[in-house]
Amino acid sequence: MARPERRTVRDIRRGNRAVLLHTLYFSGPTSRNDLTARTGLSAATVSTMTAGLLAENIVVEAGQVESDGGRPRVLLRVNPEYGFAVGVDMAETHVRVGLFDLEMTERAKVDYVLRPARHDPELVARHILSGVEVVLSDAGVSPEQVLGVGVGVPGIVEPGPDGVIHAKTFGWDGVPLGALLRRGTSLPLYVDNGAKTLGQAELWFGSGRGSSEAVIVLLGVGVGATIVADGTTFRGVSSSAGEWGHTKIVADGRPCRCGGRGCLEAYVGIEAILDRAGVASQGDWEEDLDRLLASESPVIQETVSYLGVGLANLVNLINPEKIVIGGWVGARLGERLLPGIRRATAANSLAEPYAATSIVLGRLGPDAVALGAATLVLEEFLNAPQVARITAAG
């Protein structure tokens, strides 16, 4: 029951502008002539529209290429310095703030360590706000040039303007991070779950590129998934879709830190893996995992099997074109065990959907959460490039 919405002639312009910008952004330097072919718009429209974008400095010329004997084409591209996006990765142990230009090149970054069990919302908000100031001054970018600030956080983010967060592992239950930040800045804010921003990053710039039906899976301390349907992150009714880590794969199974039993995270989360292997961790999980992988422990094969069950459930239910395995645990497991993971998934999937799915590793490193958060800003920009810039008050 898709209820369409009323449209007016103006929406057309806005929409076609977005089409043009998307094409320009993802096809790189492109001539007007190419643009007519790629967008399906008429040459006339492309001409007037690019003229506008050039006048606003959103698009710039990028040299010429000769054509077969005729007038050479002028290449156009999105001006990477038209504006900047801030991406924030707020994790359980640190806050990382990055400044990106429109090509998503990182221009500056800064880290703050969070002492465990010291997650005062006010403090975290101050870290983020001062982080924004630091990266801006480091890169010599003024606040007026910033199109927005994206923040990736653990836990569930309520929809709405206040960016209310529920993060059990954090001790946050109903913290309005968005509202706290807005007290200190007037830049547009985008708060989203970190697994979703990582998914956004892999979808736009990593292994998910080009897919419009995909699932990006995050394996780390927590386990989550970003479901992409028709090119857009699927959020569900209250923005908590994708809690894959707490789907049950063993009815009445191992207890999970969420309070439930038999959750996937209770088998393939890093704590669960080490626990099942009987490793008494000294705190450096990455080293522990590497050592475990190097050993011949049967726990590894078990982990692959459980992961296969979890992935197969996604294959059967979601029928994605691609599953991208991300997160640092995912990277390490996938590095050596990808064929086994694929086999385990196949063993638990129906043949048709499995055949339609390719399972690949994520391409982006640990910075992907911040990159994806910044990408939220980019997405907004490409969809509705402002003509009048919002003035930042600070």
Partner DNA sequence: TCGTCTTCGTTCAGGCTGTGAAAGAAGGCG
Partner DNA sequence: CGCCTTCTTTCACAGCCTGAACGAAGACGA
User: Which of 135, 187, 357, 373 is in the footprint of its own copies by CB under 8 A?
Assistant: 357
Contact of residue 48 among its own copies, DNA, none (CB under 5-8 Å per partner type): DNA
The amino acid at 44: A
Selected binder of its own copies within 90, 203, 274, 277 (CB under 8 A): 203
Instruction: Kindly write down the DSSP assignment for every residue of 29-55, as one continuous string.
Output: SEEHHHHHHHH---HHHHHHHHHHHHH
Could you tell me if 185 and 392 are in contact, meaning their C-beta atoms sit under 8 angstroms apart?
A: yes
What separation in angstroms does the CA of 178 have from each of 93, 113, 184, 210?
20, 21, 10, 31
Q: Are 243 and 224 in contact (CB under 8 A)?
A: yes
Applying CB under 8 A, the span of 14-22, 68-76, 82-90, 134-142 interacting with its own copies comes to 14-22
Among 22, 26, 29, 47, indicate the residue that binds DNA (CB under 7 A).
47
Q: Which stretch binds DNA (CB under 7 A): 30-38, 260-268, 344-352, 381-389?
A: 30-38
Q: Which does 256 bind (CB under 5 to 8 A by kind): DNA, its own copies, none?
A: none
Our finding on whether 284 is near its own copies (CB under 8 A) is no
Ramachandran category for residue 148: left, alpha or beta (phi over 0 → left; psi -120 to 50 → alpha): left
Q: Which range, of 99-107, 122-130, 273-281, 343-351, touches its own copies by CB under 8 A?
A: 343-351
CA 386 to chain centre: 23
Q: Per rule CB under 7 A, is residue 384 in the interface with DNA? A: no
Residue 30 binds to its own copies (criterion: CB under 8 A): no
> Is residue 118 packed enough to be buried (19+ CB in 10 Å), middle (13-18) or exposed (0-12)?
exposed
Does 43 interact with DNA (rule: CB under 7 A)?
yes
Beta strand 59-65 with 73-78 is antiparallel
Q: Is 249 one of the binding residues for its own copies (CB under 8 A)?
A: yes
Residue from 3, 10, 115, 118 that binds DNA (CB under 7 A)? 10
DSSP assignment of 371-386: HHHHHHHHHHHHHS--
Residue 352 touches its own copies, criterion: CB under 8 A: yes
Q: Given candidates 229, 279, 293, 361, which one binds its own copies under the rule CB under 8 A?
A: 229
Among 238, 281, 295, 386, binds its own copies (CB under 8 A): 238
Measured at the alpha carbon of residue 114, what is the angle toward residues 110 and 116, in degrees to the nearest 5? 160
Residue 131 C-beta-side C-alpha neighbours within 13 Å: 28
Q: Which of 2, 3, 5, 69 binds DNA (CB under 7 A)?
A: 69
**Which DSSP state fits 392?**
P
Q: How far is the CB of 19 from its own copies (least distance, A)?
A: 5
Q: What is the DSSP secondary structure assignment for residue 389, as one 8-state letter?
A: P
Three-state secondary structure call for residue 361: strand
Q: Under the criterion CB under 8 A, does residue 44 sit at the interface with its own copies?
A: no
Q: Is the dihedral of CA 131, 138, 366, 357 positive or negative?
A: positive
Q: 16 or 319, CB closer to DNA?
A: 16
74 binds DNA (CB under 7 A): yes
**Residue 371 contacts residue 199 (beta carbons within 8 Å):** no
| Both tokens assigned to 290 | 């590497």
The CB-of-170 to its own copies minimum distance in angstroms stands at 14
**Of 369, 276, 295, 358, nearest in space to 328 by CA:** 369
Query: Residues 22, 26, 38, 41: which binds DNA (CB under 7 A)?
Result: 41
User: What residue 74 binds from its own copies, DNA, none (CB within 5 to 8 A, per partner kind)?
Assistant: DNA
Q: Which of residues 76-115 bind its own copies (CB under 8 A)?
A: none
Is residue 234 a contact residue for its own copies (CB under 8 A)?
A: yes
223 binds, among its own copies, DNA, none (CB under 5 to 8 A by kind): none
Contact set with DNA (CB under 7 A): 6-10, 12-13, 16, 31-33, 40-51, 64, 66-74
